[in-house]
Structures are given as structure tokens and as C-alpha cells.
Chains A and B, each alone.
Chain A
Amino acid sequence: EVQLVQSGAEVKKPGESLKISCKGSGYRFTTYWIGWVRQMPGKGLEWMGIINPGNFDTRYSPSFQGQVTISVDKSITTAYLQWSSLKASDTAMYYCAMGTRRPYDAFDMWGQGTKVTVSS
């Protein structure tokens, strides 16, 4: 069974760093690009960026370029979303997702979400 399983909820202070994870299983990990989607409390979905786990090619939305880092560790079939210095405005639910018909496609597979709370 193809699955994306995300790491657990995080509570952090402004200025702290954070790396959340998304582990893929049940398929060849390098086949499909993995994306990250933000959903702030009570708000809509925002496409943050995607990464090719095979060659590490990464594309960011202009809104998130320079604000986060997307990476992968192929050896443990895991994708990451990372912040070097969190802000209160990073408080949100973060989903990883991928499409399984083509290398990059509509997201038919989603992780369960990771809730990030940033508060002093």
C-alpha cells in the first residue's frame, strides 16, 4: 500500500528551527515528486514547493522561496520541510502530497498532516 506518513505535531518558539518529515512507503521512492502544502488556521491550501527524490531537483512557490527548505533522504525514503528561524505566522497544518500517475501530477496521495504551532 502506497503511504505517506508525516511526523507528529510540533510546538516551537519564534526564532527556533524545525524540520518535519514525510516518509514514503509501498512504492519506489524516486518515482514521484513530493510536494508540501500549507494550510493556516481557518484558511485555504497553499502550494509551497516540490522535490524530485531521484535527483533532488526542487521547485518553490515564489511565496515560499527562501523561507523554507525542502529536502529528501533517499536512504530512508523520507522528505523534509525545514525552517531555520520560525515565526508566529508559520503556525499552520502542513501536508506532504504526491501524484502517482506521472512523476509530477495532481496529488492523489496525501500525508495525514503535521500541525506546527509557533508561540512565545
Chain B
Amino acid sequence: DIQMTQSPSTLSASVGDRVTITCRASQSVNSWLAWYQQKPGKAPKLLIYKASTLESGVPSRFSGSESGTEFTLTISSLQPDDFATYYCQHYNNYLGTFGQGTKVEIK
């Protein structure tokens, strides 16, 4: 069972800030890593898949990268609509695990 360790759990930032969220897999997931955004009372929304591919319609200020089993979601310039909770998820080998989530709050 692959574990996904996401950090930080909470992040306080201001509009315009560059924000980075990290997710570490306990073993290789072969780049099958997704990032989601969730707002209160709503279903999650896919932002990034295959570690670094931007989902259609998602603003280009969002980007994903990987280095081995460490994955990063970056928001280049935080916008008011970006205050939400973010989750990573691996989907390797017909299984899946979500990270614990990162809540991005207004500073």
C-alpha cells in the first residue's frame, strides 16, 4: 500500500504569493500523480495529472513537477479564487491513495 505524505497541512499566504505544496510517495508511482483542488461543499477538481500535465481549463499559474518520489504543486501568483484545500493522489497500478491535504488560507 503506497503512502502519500503531503506537507504542509496548512499554509497562510497572501494574494500574489508564490505557493509550493509537496507530496512524497513511499515508493515509485511512475509519475501517476494528480493534484486536486477542493472548496467547501464541492467535489474536488482535477488540476494536474501525470505529475506535471495541466488539466484543460486550469489557469497556467498552476504547475506540477516531480523528482523521484517527491512531487510539487506550485501556484506562481496566488489569486483570491485559489484559497482552498489541495490534495495529491497517486493512481499507479489500478490503486490509489490521497495525501492528507493542504489548506491554503488567507494571511
Q: Would A59 and B46 count as touching, CB distance under 8 A?
A: no
Dominant secondary structure at the B interface: loop
Complex: A108 Cα to B97 Cα, angstroms: 16
Number of interface residues of B (CB under 8 A): 24
| A62 touches B (CB below 8 Å) | yes
| B62 touches A (CB below 8 Å) | no
Q: Would B94 and A59 count as touching, CB distance under 8 A?
A: yes
Chain B residues, CB < 8 A from A37: 44, 98
Chain A residues, CB < 8 A from B36: 45, 107
When C-beta atoms are compared, the residue in chain B nearest to A50 turns out to be: B94
When C-beta atoms are compared, the residue in chain A nearest to B48 turns out to be: A106
Q: Which of B46, B85, B98 contacts A108 (CB 8 A)?
A: B46
CB-CB contacts of B11-42 with A at 8 A, as 1s and 0s? 00000000000000000000010101010000
The 8 A-B residue pairs whose C-beta atoms are closest, nearest first, are: A106-B34, A106-B49, A47-B96, A110-B43, A44-B101, A45-B98, A108-B46, A59-B94
List residues of chain A with CB under 8 Å of any chain B CB.
33, 35, 37, 44-47, 50, 59, 61-62, 95, 97, 99, 101, 104-108, 110-113
